[in-house]
């Protein structure tokens, strides 16, 4: 890749930050654009985005905006600097004109799914939640409709039976950043070109709602296990026990059977809980206001015992 070419990066979240840190190893970014700090946590303190944290540490100029496509300062800098390519990854804003009409390669997105499957905000979580055993990452050019633009390159990866959202986020960021740079190199040599998606095969991955994070012991153990790992490390799944929230961070599928929610016995010291079919070992949990712990330690701090129902 020509070292004189200038790149911008627009992103906000953890996947974007990881991709940015990897891309920085191969190209120079003149500018990073991210969202303005938002209140978060119990104290609602304003904190910068993960992308800004990485960029600032690397000494890259960071521009904050509420609307990348309508910000007069950013649009002025766009005319002055004329970046060769803008990576838009895990960004919290819709990109519109005039950015969409930049000369090829234009605005490129690294999306953690095999497009057109799982378009939207939560492709990794939805793939795990749905019990998929294959996923992938796609580098495509942004278009007006969400995640619908022409594809430059893509790559498939397996999903292990115990892989979490966090595990796959890192794997897909590494793979996506690598193929993005390889794809740009091949594009510059005329070896590949953009290809349109098959829009008739599109599926969607909407943002995870709070209601979806609550576990139901009535579901089969595989679905319970998949939900837990799809929400680890964020936002986490939970159950209510005597009116208090217990977060479930890690489970292991078991073959024991019993009533949904029943403490059937123990495995490696952790309680085994009955599901609609099969059961799960509670390997890592967290009560409100406490640190994460193994399921056995948590149970010893309660009045619950074998045969009780978690409700």
Q: Which of 173, 201, 229 lies at the terminal end of a domain, its last residue?
A: 201
pLDDT (average), residues 172-201: 97
Dihedral pair phi/psi, residue 221, rounded to 5°: -60, -35
Query: Could you tell me if 103 and 120 lie in one domain?
Result: yes
Query: Could you tell me if 27 and 121 lie in one domain?
Result: yes
Helix, strand, coil percentages (3-state) for the chain, rounded to 5, are 25, 30, 45
pLDDT (average), residues 278-287: 98
pLDDT exceeds cutoff 70 at 158: yes
Query: Could you tell me if 194 and 223 lie in one domain?
Result: no
Structure confidence at residue 196 as a pLDDT band (50, 70, 90): very high
Query: Could you tell me if 127 and 57 lie in one domain?
Result: yes
pLDDT value at position 2?
A: 79
Query: Could you tell me if 95 and 234 lie in one domain?
Result: no
Residue 308 in any domain: the answer is no
Token pair of 291, please? 């640190």
User: Across 225-277, where does the E strand assignment appear?
Assistant: 237-241, 244-254, 263-267, 270-274
CATH for 171:
3.40.50.170
Strand, helix or coil at 227?
helix
The Cα–Cα gap between 52 and 60 comes to 9
What is the per-residue pLDDT across 248-265, written as a single tens digit (0 to 9) for each?
Answer: 999 999 999 999 999 999
The helix (run of H) or strand (run of E) holding residue 222 is: helix 221-230
The Cα–Cα gap between 279 and 14 comes to 32
pTM as predicted = 0.95
Domain that holds residue 115: 7-201
What is the per-residue pLDDT across 220-229, written as a single tens digit (0 to 9) for each?
Answer: 999 999 999 9
pLDDT value at position 42?
A: 60
Structure confidence at residue 38 as a pLDDT band (50, 70, 90): confident
CA atoms within 13 A on the CB side of 156: 5
Structure confidence at residue 3 as a pLDDT band (50, 70, 90): confident
What is the per-residue pLDDT across 47-77, written as a single tens digit (0 to 9) for each?
Answer: 899 999 999 999 998 999 999 999 999 999 9
Query: Could you tell me if 33 and 123 lie in one domain?
Result: yes
Share of the chain above pLDDT 90, in %: 94
Which DSSP letter does residue 206 get?
P
pLDDT exceeds cutoff 80 at 116: yes
CATH for 243:
3.10.25.10
* CB 239 within 8 Å of CB 277: no
Query: Could you tell me if 186 and 255 lie in one domain?
Result: no
């Amino acid at each position: 890749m020509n070292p004189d070419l200038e790149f911008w990066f627009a992103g906000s979240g953890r996947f974007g930050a990881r991709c940015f840190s990897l891309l920085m190893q191969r190209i120079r970014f003149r500018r990073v654009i991210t969202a303005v700090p938002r209140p978060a946590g119990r104290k609602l303190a304003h904190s910068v985005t993960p992308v800004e944290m990485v960029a600032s540490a690397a000494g890259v100029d960071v521009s904050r905006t509420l609307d990348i496509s309508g910000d007069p300062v950013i649009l002025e800098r766009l005319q002055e600097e004329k970046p060769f390519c803008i990576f838009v990854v895990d960004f919290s804003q819709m990109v519109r004109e005039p950015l969409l009409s930049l000369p090829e390669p234009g605005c490129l997105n690294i999306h953690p799914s095999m497009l057109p499957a799982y378009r939207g905000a939560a492709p990794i979580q939805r793939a795990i939640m749905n019990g998929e055993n294959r996923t992938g990452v796609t580098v495509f050019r942004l278009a007006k409709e969400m995640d619908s633009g022409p594809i430059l390159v893509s790559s498939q990866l397996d999903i292990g039976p115990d892989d979490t959202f966090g595990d796959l986020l890192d794997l897909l960021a590494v793979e996506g950043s690598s193929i993005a740079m390889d794809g740009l190199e091949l594009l510059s040599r005329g070896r590949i070109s953009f290809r349109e998606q098959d829009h008739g095969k599109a599926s969607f991955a909407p943002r995870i709602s709070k209601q979806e994070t609550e576990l139901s012991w009535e579901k089969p153990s595989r679905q319970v296990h998949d939900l837990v790992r799809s929400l680890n490390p964020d936002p986490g799944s939970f159950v209510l026990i005597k009116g208090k929230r217990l977060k479930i961070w890690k489970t292991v599928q078991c073959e024991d059977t019993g009533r949904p929610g029943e403490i059937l016995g123990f495995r490696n010291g952790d309680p085994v809980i009955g599901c609609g079919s099969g059961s799960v070992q509670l390997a890592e949990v967290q009560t409100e206001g406490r640190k994460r712990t193994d399921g056995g330690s948590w149970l010893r701090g309660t009045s619950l015992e074998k045969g009780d129902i978690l409700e």
